[in-house]
Chains A and B, each alone.
Chain A
Amino acid sequence: MNSARVKEFYYLMKLGREFEIRAKEEYMKGNIAGFLHLDIGQEAVSVGSMKAFMKGDVFTHYREHVLAIARGMDPKLVMAELFGKREGVSKGKGGSMHLFEPKLSFYGGDAIVGGHLPIAVGCAYARKIQGENAGVFAIFGDGASNSGAFFESINIAAAWKLPIIFFLENNYYAIGTHISWVSPFVELYNKVKNYMPAVRINGMDVCEVYEEVMRAKNYIENGLGPYFIEAECYRYEGHSMSDSGQYRSKEELEIFKSKDPIENLRKKALKDGLVEESFFKEADRKAQMEVEEAVQFALRASEPEISELYEDLFCKECSNVVS
């Protein structure tokens, strides 16, 4: 890792963390409502993967703010969406769980667990016959890896050698259900070993995530078929805002916090003499400022009009006939 990369990773992870902390505060103030799934603790996955997979299509579940920002979505537009404002990426119609931006090949923001996987596979099929070798990146949780949609997807992707990276964020919990209660093993890459290359990595280490996704990207780009990565990680916060987290122990949380992806990158970079201390201070300040700007933007942004209720349901042509 060179110093520029480390700086970039650090800044994006810090920005993501600050964004989430602030989103939580704004939720408490009532500026954000509904479900809010925070990515705090899992920033290495979001940033490392998006910085490696820059070109192809991205399909994700609902815990996706930081992933979207790492992909290049403007934090202002993400925050405005969380606030339900018209200037938000989804015009306030989607909210936290539904961030979409085709310009960034970023296709949501799907809140039906496992629901986006067959869609990602279909997109990979299209890319293959279109001769687009950048392929598809599909990210999902341990819980989703128990769904029928998941098993159907890995089978089809492997059978047809589709250019897709399956990225499993194993944070051990699906809301309050520990993976060991509902899966025969907790190392979930075992589920697909006979279908495609499958690895398990440390998802708390942004460099490891980056390097593995680079490897996967080269693999799918060469037309060799799908690739599977399981990243061990942990969400520090509850599943969503109303989760008291009583199903897990403080000790477990502390173990993962001691492997914090942001703090550890900083320590390692300092130890290796890659980045000087002053950079981090400046980066922290800048990240806070950027998030503050996003919040100010969201606060100033406008409420949609009631007349917009029926907008965006159909294209112009169809809207004229369907009412």
Chain B
Amino acid sequence: MLYREALNKAIDEAMEIDKSVVILGEDVGRYGGSYRVSEGLFAKYGKERVIDTPIAELSIVGNAIGMAIAGLRPVAEIMTVNFSLLALDQIINHASKFRYMSGGKLAIPLTVRMPGGVSRQLAAQHSESYETIYASIPGLIVFAASNPNYAYHALKKAIFLNDPVIFLEHELLYNEEGEVDFNEDLDPFKAKVVKEGEDITVISYLKMVKDSLKAIEKIEKSLNITCELIDLNSLRPLDMQTIANSIKKTKRAVIVEEDHKSGGYGAEVCARICEELFYELDAPVLRIAGEDVPIPYNRKLELASIPTPDKITAKIISWAKENGV
């Protein structure tokens, strides 16, 4: 099943089970969503529950919060994370704080879906990854779907959680094929060991999981070692237990992320590893991240600004050699 189909199925089933689930966003209805995630839902559930909104991100999220207070379970789609900045006030000053400020009296069962990352030559205003912002906000849950199976299970569970969830997708994953195990009882808060290994722990999320996996194949052949790959799945809360279990075994950690390196999400993961697992480490943590520049349009520069399977391979190999792996 395609990633976008898995997301579609999760929403469809949630809407089927519970009448209070509604979706709203730009082009989500008659158009079917700019990445076709909501295809077919307008015809099936009608315009009251599948709401085509104007281009007004602040209102999309603000309205969704109001709906949530009134007892609905809104799933808001922000066309890309870049535009979610216009809704930041509603997400941060309102959604994330209402339960706490009310002494626990208010619940905000809200899901805000947004795709991000570098797609292909969409230039600086359409290529950002802002997970580091959302993951730094107390009161928010942040899921990051790297594959159809997690996308399906985590989105469906997110919709039925009673707190605000930022649900991150990646623009280059929508047409990714992958198996969905409908019988699985997946815990969306837990990281997943995608591949087991003995010598290096590679930690990643979203599209970089796929790119890291490609790199790992080459690294293992080239260095005659094995790498363990962890897909974080949930960025807030961060599942340190899964990371610790792996690092205690491998003694070495690499973090691969697509966002900018300075203050990027990997900085938090790195800090937690250094704080909690320092004495387990046999080598300094390696961070592979995007460059600290807005994403340029030109393809060559664009590729130079983010990690690619080849760059991940080269960086890990040279780091491994320096550190006697």
State whether B297 touches A34 (Cβ < 8 A): yes
- CB of B242 closer than 8 Å to a CB of A: no
Q: How far is A34 from B291 in the complex, measured between Cα atoms in Å? A: 20
Interface 9-residue window, one of A4-12, A107-115, A223-231 = A107-115
State whether A175 touches B125 (Cβ < 8 A): no
Q: How far is A308 from B296 in the complex, measured between Cα atoms in Å? A: 10
Closest to B33 in A: A176
- CB of A129 closer than 8 Å to a CB of B: no
Residues of A within 8 A of B34 (CB): 175
Closest to A32 in B: B121
Residues of A within 8 A of B293 (CB): 309-310, 313
Interface 9-residue window, one of B48-56, B179-187, B198-206, B243-251 = B48-56
Residues of B within 8 A of A85 (CB): 298
Give the distance to chain A from B25, nearest Cβ to Cβ, in Å: 10
- CB of B193 closer than 8 Å to a CB of A: no
Q: How far is A306 from B294 in the complex, measured between Cα atoms in Å? A: 14
Residues of A within 8 A of B121 (CB): 33-34, 84, 95
Interface bits B120-138 vs A (CB < 8 Å: 1, else 0): 1111111000000000000
Residues of B within 8 A of A93 (CB): 123-124, 296-298, 301
State whether A147 touches B56 (Cβ < 8 A): yes
Interface 9-residue window, one of A45-53, A177-185, A277-285 = A177-185
Residue B83 contacts which of A95, A112, A176, A182 (CB distance < 8 angstroms)?
A112
State whether B27 touches A177 (Cβ < 8 A): yes
State whether B123 touches A98 (Cβ < 8 A): yes
Residues of A within 8 A of B56 (CB): 146-148
Give the distance to chain B from A113, nearest Cβ to Cβ, in Å: 5
Q: How far is A147 from B86 in the complex, measured between Cα atoms in Å? A: 10
Residues of B within 8 A of A308 (CB): 301
Most buried by A among B59, B83, B120, B304: B304
Residues of B within 8 A of A303 (CB): 298, 300
- CB of B31 closer than 8 Å to a CB of A: yes
Q: How far is A177 from B31 in the complex, measured between Cα atoms in Å? A: 7
State whether A309 touches B296 (Cβ < 8 A): yes
Residue A84 contacts which of B30, B55, B82, B297 (CB distance < 8 angstroms)?
B297
Q: How far is A113 from B56 in the complex, measured between Cα atoms in Å? A: 9
Give the distance to chain A from B281, nearest Cβ to Cβ, in Å: 27
Interface bits A294-323 vs B (CB < 8 Å: 1, else 0): 000000000110101110010000000000
State whether A112 touches B299 (Cβ < 8 A): no
Q: How far is A174 from B27 in the complex, measured between Cα atoms in Å? A: 9
Q: Number of contact residues on A: which range applies?
A: 35 or more
Give the distance to chain A from B314, nearest Cβ to Cβ, in Å: 14
Given A148-B59, A182-B52, residue A34 in contact with residue B301 (CB < 8 A): no
Give the distance to chain B from A226, nearest Cβ to Cβ, in Å: 22
State whether B82 touches A112 (Cβ < 8 A): yes
Given A34-B123, A84-B297, A114-B55, residue A309 in contact with residue B31 (CB < 8 A): no
Closest to A85 in B: B298
Residues of A within 8 A of B52 (CB): 177, 181-182
- CB of B26 closer than 8 Å to a CB of A: yes
Interface bits A156-175 vs B (CB < 8 Å: 1, else 0): 00000000000000000011
- CB of B305 closer than 8 Å to a CB of A: yes
Q: How far is A104 from B297 in the complex, measured between Cα atoms in Å? A: 22
Interface bits A118-162 vs B (CB < 8 Å: 1, else 0): 000000000000000000000000011011100000000000000
Residues of A within 8 A of B59 (CB): 148
Residue B299 contacts which of A84, A96, A183 (CB distance < 8 angstroms)?
A84
Q: How far is A310 from B292 in the complex, measured between Cα atoms in Å? A: 8
Residues of B within 8 A of A177 (CB): 26-27, 30-31, 52, 54
State whether A111 touches B126 (Cβ < 8 A): yes
Give the distance to chain B from A99, nearest Cβ to Cβ, in Å: 11
State whether B120 touches A34 (Cβ < 8 A): yes
- CB of A256 closer than 8 Å to a CB of B: no
For chain B residues 266-303, which have a beta carbon within 8 Å of chain A?
A: 291, 293-294, 296-301
Residue B54 contacts which of A34, A110, A146 (CB distance < 8 angstroms)?
A146
State whether B297 touches A309 (Cβ < 8 A): no
Residues of B within 8 A of A96 (CB): 297
For chain B residues 19-36, which have a beta carbon within 8 Å of chain A?
A: 26-27, 30-31, 34
Residues of A within 8 A of B297 (CB): 34, 84, 90, 92-96, 98
- CB of A35 closer than 8 Å to a CB of B: yes
State whether A183 touches B54 (Cβ < 8 A): yes
Residues of A within 8 A of B106 (CB): none
- CB of A97 closer than 8 Å to a CB of B: yes
Interface residue ranges, A against B (CB under 8 Å): 33-35, 84-85, 90, 92-98, 110-114, 143-144, 146-148, 174-177, 181-183, 247, 303-304, 306, 308-310, 313
16 A-B residue pairings within 8 Å (CB atoms) = A34-B297, A35-B126, A85-B298, A93-B297, A112-B86, A146-B54, A174-B26, A174-B55, A175-B31, A177-B27, A177-B30, A177-B52, A182-B53, A183-B54, A247-B31, A309-B305
Interface residue ranges, B against A (CB under 8 Å): 26-27, 30-31, 34, 52-56, 58-59, 82-83, 86, 120-126, 291, 293-294, 296-301, 304-305
The 6 closest A-B pairs by CB, nearest first: A95-B297, A176-B31, A146-B54, A34-B121, A84-B298, A182-B54
